[in-house]
Structure 1
Amino acid sequence: MSAEEQGSGPAGSGSEQEWAPNGIDISVPHSARMYDWWLGGKDNFASDRQLGEMFIQAIPTIRLMAQENRAFMHRATRYLVAEAGIDQFLDIGTGIPTQPNLHETAQELNRAARVVYVDNDPIVLAHARALMVSDREGRTAYIDADLSKPDQILADPAVVTTLDLTRPVGLMLVAVLMLLSDEEDPWARAQTLMDALPSGSYVAITHPGQDFDPKAMADIAAAARGGNLTVVPRVRDDVARFFADWELVEPGLVPVMAWRPESEPVDPAAAYYWAGVARKQ
Structure 2
Amino acid sequence: MDLGQNPQPPVIDMHTPSVARMYDWLLGGVENYDSDRTACAKLLEIAPSTQLLARNNRAFLTRVVRTLVEDYGIRQFLDHGSGLPTQDNVHEVAQRVDPGCKVAYVDNDPMVLAHAQTTLHDNAGTLVISRDMRDTASIRRATDTFLDWETPMAALFVSVLHCIPDTGDEMDPAAVVRRTAAMLPPGSFMVICQLVSDDPVVREDVTRLMDVSTHGHWGRVRETHEVERYFDGLDILEPRLVDVVDWRPDSAPPPAELRPKDWVEWGGVGRLR
Which of 222, 229, 233 is the matching residue for 1:234? 222
Runs of at least 5 residues in structure 2 that lack an aligned partner in the other structure = 1-8
Report the secondary structure of 2:174's partner residue. Answer: helix
C-alpha displacement of 1:161: 1.7
Which of 259, 262, 266 is the matching residue for 1:274? 266
C-alpha displacement of 1:148: 2.2
Question: How many pairs does the alignment contain?
Answer: 256
The amino acid of 1:90's aligned partner reads L
**Aligned position for 1:102:** 90
Equivalences for residues 1-281 of structure 1 within 5 A:
23-133=11-121, 135=123, 139-156=125-142, 159-183=143-167, 184-211=171-198, 213-227=199-213, 228=215, 229-267=217-255, 269-270=259-260, 272-281=264-273
C-alpha displacement of 1:226: 2.0
C-alpha displacement of 1:22: 6.2
Instruction: Return the TM-score normalized by structure 1.
Output: 0.87
C-alpha displacement of 1:216: 2.0
Give, in whole Å, the separation in 1 of the partners of 2:232 and 2:18: 29
Query: Could you report, residue by residue, the CA deviation over 1:148-200 in whole angstroms, capped at 9, with x for unpaired residues?
Result: 212111111xx112100111011110011111111141111111111000100
The amino acid of 2:272's aligned partner reads K
The amino acid of 2:26's aligned partner reads W
The amino acid of 1:182's aligned partner reads D
Query: Could you report, residue by residue, the CA deviation over 1:44-102 in whole angstroms, capped at 9, with x for unpaired residues?
Result: 11221121111111111111111111111100001100011100000000110111211
Give, in whole Å, the separation in 1 of the partners of 2:107 and 2:211: 21
RMSD: 1.6
Cα pair 1:134 1:140 within 8 Å, conserved = no
The amino acid of 1:192's aligned partner reads R
Give, in whole Å, the separation in 1 of the partners of 2:255 and 2:85: 28
Give, in whole Å, the separation in 2 of the partners of 1:37 and 1:259: 24
The amino acid of 2:271's aligned partner reads R
Give, in whole Å, the separation in 2 of the partners of 1:140 and 1:244: 30
Runs of at least 5 residues in structure 1 that lack an aligned partner in the other structure = 1-20
Instruction: Return the TM-score normalized by structure 2.
Output: 0.89
C-alpha displacement of 1:210: 2.6
Report the secondary structure of 1:173's partner residue. Answer: strand
Give, in whole Å, the separation in 2 of the partners of 1:243 and 1:115: 22
Give, in whole Å, the separation in 1 of the partners of 2:208 and 2:235: 34
The amino acid of 1:201's aligned partner reads S
Cα pair 1:178 1:233 within 8 Å, conserved = yes
Report the secondary structure of 2:72's partner residue. Answer: coil
Give, in whole Å, the separation in 1 of the partners of 2:254 and 2:269: 22
The amino acid of 1:161's aligned partner reads T
Give, in whole Å, the separation in 1 of the partners of 2:145 and 2:119: 20
Cα pair 1:175 1:207 within 8 Å, conserved = yes
Structure number with greater CO (CA < 8 Å, separation at least 6) is 2
Query: Could you report, residue by residue, the CA deviation over 1:208-229 in whole angstroms, capped at 9, with x for unpaired residues?
Result: 1132x33223211111122123
Cα pair 2:203 2:222 within 8 Å, conserved = no
The amino acid of 2:125's aligned partner reads R
- CA separation of 1:258/1:214 partners in 2, compared to 1, >3 Å: closer, same or farther? farther
Cα pair 2:166 2:219 within 8 Å, conserved = no
* Runs of 4+ that moved beyond 3 A: none
- The more displaced of 21-30 and 242-251 is 21-30
